[in-house]
Chain A
Amino acid sequence: MKSLVLVLILLAASATQAQVPYERIRDSNREPENWLTYSGNYASHRYSQLNQINRTNVSRLKVAWMYQVRGRQHFETTPLVFDGVMYITDPPSDVTALDLRTGRPIWSYRRNIPQGAPVCCGQVNRGVAALGDQIFVNTIDAHLVALDARTGRVRWDVEVADWKLAYSMTAAPLAIKDKIIVGVAGAEYGARGFLDAYDPKTGRRLWRFWTAPGPGEPGNETWSGDSWKQGGATTWVTGSYDPELNLLYWGTGNPGPDYDGSVRLGDNLYSDCVIALDADTGRLKWHFQFTPHDVNDMDSNQIPVLLDANWKGTPRKLMLFANRNAFYYVLDRVTGEFLHASQFTRQNWAKGIDARGRPIPNPESAPNEKGALAYPDDDGTANWFSPTYSPRTNLFYQNVREKGGVFYKVSVEFQPGRLYLGAVKRDITTEEPYGTLRALRPLTGELAWKFDVRTPPWCGLLSTAGDLVFSGTMEGDFFALDAISGKLLWRFQTGGEIWSNPITYRFEGRQYVSVTSGSSLIVFGLE
């Protein structure tokens, strides 16, 4: 009898674990000890209210534990943390649940990837989503898989797109209400972009929004001929969500081919946009195009950061967007109205931004046969790595790649599954590229301070109520700055390249900070 009671208690206990109803994610600010969604909250602030680790004691941060993965690709995961477990992805599309007390694995999901799955930039994965008692992962062969959060067993597995047509998936899904939102990659191969919603219970597709619209759909007129069919505009970085407006905000990528605009005359909507979609229907509410008719590979696959603030004396729902094209934007996120743009680092592709937010292109930066010098290069100033916004400092922080390139026009020809680009790049060797962590005033884009790093970074940012900003470098330095002044307060040489966004959480009363480096996940705590 005693055994039976024990079993029932254990069953009850396990039933209460690993349950993440939508309300928990929506109200994630109420449980700062956890990290429940890719960007920390739906507004994508990547800010934590935890302050046990702060400016006065961060110098005592030490490694608490490490976990090493098998993959040799870049380790780009943002972990989710809740109820004593950390969920990570490791390349190419595997998922592991780790015990927070010991760092030991609880379960792993291993996926066999078909040989030859084409990806432009590595077989990587940036994290999972959680909803209910399930974990969701996008795979490099363009499937969405639902796993049992307790065991890692597959609940369902659906094909989102055909990988043989060069579709792949690298972003973390976004779990909202009763839907899992997923985007795809593949624009470098002429894959036609879309954003999808799936039923978390069954895996049934609920809606699809094509980001390169077909005939009869608004925006199709911005593509010459049938060029929309290879139009790209893929959706390969996780977006944001406003529960009150029930709007999804998602960045879209470059048009295909990347560099040759002559085969796709027009603005090429909805490439290089942020799109606002009704979360229930997938219908377009508004869009804003940062780089019309892009010929410099200016994907807008960055994180839309949502902020409610007074704009010129009036409370408004805003969106902050540090774009790969080197301009910082403020938009009204209810209507999409353009409010502000300012250049935040070196660029030469635009002569300026007009009053409507439309850039004035500089044709000299477009690829040509002699080589066109372009700032930024095709990796952009910002990229997939996340910014952060701290309500305590009221600053927007962005890691910036300070690098140009020379682009030579070459022939372009569409073949399914083959690269579809139109130019090749050579680096500039007469100058050394570098990186900066920039703190910007959120409503003006004005620089508050900056911190230089040796080479252009691929690490995102985390800010905390301890008034710290965490970042990392390609040389393996993980460090914390004073979020107010930008002063260096702590650093640790991890020994590997840092290709991920840091997070923080609290477990058994202690705050931890986590980041990946090389093939290691490293968790830091106060000694």
Chain B
Amino acid sequence: MVHNRKLRLAVLFIMAPAIFRLCGLYAAGAQVPADSSLGERLYLTQCSMCHGRSGEGGRGPTLARPKLLHAPDDDALRNVIRGGIPGTGMPGTRLIDAELRELTAYVRKLGQVQPAVLAGDPERGEEIYRTKGACAECHTLSGNGGALGPDLTGVGASRSPQHLRESLLSPAADFPRGYAWARAVTRGGRTVSGVRVNEDTFSIQIRDAAGKLHSLWKAELREFRKDLTRSPMPSYRDALTPAELDDLVAYLASLQEAK
């Protein structure tokens, strides 16, 4: 029972492209090879903290694919890099034209990769998603499922298999800022913990593990704590066998249809 409860919480924070508040990562000290080209240097210092060192994805979508959703051609890609994507965490940059050209070329190079061959079976993975994983209790897929974690519709198009696996094994390593953990204790002694849905100076809204929304005035709390580095999703490392993990990754990676 305890184990199952862990599983219910488990798949909370696999990446979802509409939700990531990305590209605001502190990446000081990013390793830049001395002989790197201008495009590579710009990518490693400006983009890799969200899109991964090789474009595998992270808080931001994978770029290691031939077609990019928001950038079907180079002009569109330059526009995205220059102006960002409104409504997402993708910020604009203030690069000069020569830098934009080099960076665009480098990002295109990242997309010249063969699709990864995955060990798992997506059909078995879907079964795990529905049953043992209980993923739908927290995540939405094509309009069905829970609202506690990010929507996973099309997650295979925006996150690499490598990133999906990492999210299942170490959820706290890299998760959307909009899903930080919070805990509040009212003056009456009631404890509420879960995902911080919203917060202003005077109030906090928390969605608990059962999906229930709690709206609280801070003035009425005895304790209030939030942790940006803590994901409510526990690791799947011990909850699934390596083969089951492969299957679940294969299933999530197969979810290519955009929302």
Task: With CB as the reference atom, state the residue of chain A lying closest to B22.
Answer: A429
Decide yes or no whether B258 CB sits under 8 A from chain A: no
Decide yes or no whether A43 CB sits under 8 A from chain B: no
- Please tell me the size bucket of the interface on B: 20 to 34
Among A372, A419, A424, A454, point to the contact of B28 (Cβ < 8 A).
A372
Assess the A370–B29 pair: CB atoms within 8 A: yes
Assess the A424–B24 pair: CB atoms within 8 A: no
**Chain B contacts for A476, CB-based, 8 A:** 200
Cα(A306)–Cα(B28), bound, Å: 41
Assess the A426–B26 pair: CB atoms within 8 A: yes
Chain B nearest CB from A453 CB (Å) reads 5
Assess the B26–A429 pair: CB atoms within 8 A: yes
**Chain A contacts for B32, CB-based, 8 A:** 369-370
Task: With CB as the reference atom, state the residue of chain B lying closest to A423.
Answer: B94
Assess the A430–B228 pair: CB atoms within 8 A: yes
Cα(A233)–Cα(B28), bound, Å: 29
Among B24, B93, B200, point to the contact of A475 (Cβ < 8 A).
B200
Main secondary structure of the interface of B (DSSP, over half): loop
Assess the B94–A421 pair: CB atoms within 8 A: yes
Decide yes or no whether A431 CB sits under 8 A from chain B: yes
Assess the B94–A430 pair: CB atoms within 8 A: no
Task: With CB as the reference atom, state the residue of chain A lying closest to B31.
Answer: A370
Known A424-B95, A427-B24, A476-B200; judge A432-B228 contact (CB<8 A).
yes
Decide yes or no whether A3 CB sits under 8 A from chain B: no
**Chain A contacts for B199, CB-based, 8 A:** 454, 475
Assess the A426–B200 pair: CB atoms within 8 A: no
Which stretch (A245-253, A386-394, A409-417) binds chain B? A409-417
Among A408, A418, A428, A454, point to the contact of B96 (Cβ < 8 A).
A418
Decide yes or no whether B6 CB sits under 8 A from chain A: no
Decide yes or no whether B197 CB sits under 8 A from chain A: no
Cα(A419)–Cα(B42), bound, Å: 17
Within 8 A of A (CB), among B154-199: 177, 199
Assess the B41–A369 pair: CB atoms within 8 A: yes
Among B94, B177, B201, point to the contact of A477 (Cβ < 8 A).
B201
Cα(A493)–Cα(B228), bound, Å: 25
Chain B nearest CB from A225 CB (Å) reads 20
For B32, B46, B93, B201, the residue with the greatest tally of chain A CB atoms inside 10 Å of its CB is B201
Task: With CB as the reference atom, state the residue of chain B lying closest to A475.
Answer: B200
Among B26, B96, B226, point to the contact of A430 (Cβ < 8 A).
B26
Assess the B28–A406 pair: CB atoms within 8 A: yes
Assess the B201–A452 pair: CB atoms within 8 A: yes
**Chain B contacts for A477, CB-based, 8 A:** 200-202
Question: Interface 1/0s, chain B 43-59, versus A by CB < 8 A?
Answer: 00110010000000000
Task: With CB as the reference atom, state the residue of chain A lying closest to B38.
Answer: A411
Decide yes or no whether A266 CB sits under 8 A from chain B: no
**Chain A contacts for B202, CB-based, 8 A:** 477, 491
Chain B nearest CB from A335 CB (Å) reads 40
Known A453-B201, A475-B200, A491-B202; judge A429-B228 contact (CB<8 A).
yes
Decide yes or no whether A174 CB sits under 8 A from chain B: no
Cα(A493)–Cα(B229), bound, Å: 29
Question: Interface 1/0s, chain B 1-32, versus A by CB < 8 A?
Answer: 00000000000000000000001111111101
Task: With CB as the reference atom, state the residue of chain A lying closest to B93.
Answer: A424
**Chain B contacts for A430, CB-based, 8 A:** 26, 228-229
**Chain A contacts for B45, CB-based, 8 A:** 369-371, 408
**Chain A contacts for B226, CB-based, 8 A:** 432
Assess the B94–A424 pair: CB atoms within 8 A: yes
Task: With CB as the reference atom, state the residue of chain A lying closest to B102.
Answer: A411
Question: Interface 1/0s, chain B 91-110, versus A by CB < 8 A?
Answer: 00111101100000000000
**Chain A contacts for B94, CB-based, 8 A:** 419, 421, 424
Assess the A424–B46 pair: CB atoms within 8 A: yes
Assess the A454–B23 pair: CB atoms within 8 A: no
Task: With CB as the reference atom, state the residue of chain B lying closest to A407.
Answer: B28
Considering the complex of A and B, which 7 residue pairs feature the smallest CB-CB distances, nearest first? Answer: A427-B24, A475-B200, A371-B28, A428-B26, A453-B201, A454-B201, A408-B45
Q: Given contact pairs A406-B28, A419-B94, enumerate 9 new A-B contacts (beta carbons under 8 Å).
A: A370-B28, A371-B29, A373-B26, A410-B99, A411-B99, A426-B26, A429-B25, A475-B200, A476-B200
Instruction: Report A's interface with B, CB cutoff 8 A.
Output: 369-373, 406, 408, 410-413, 415, 418-419, 421, 424, 426-432, 452-454, 473, 475-477, 479, 491, 493
**Complex A-B: 15 CB contacts under 8 Å:** A369-B32, A370-B32, A372-B28, A373-B26, A373-B28, A410-B96, A412-B96, A426-B25, A428-B26, A429-B24, A430-B26, A430-B228, A453-B201, A475-B199, A493-B200
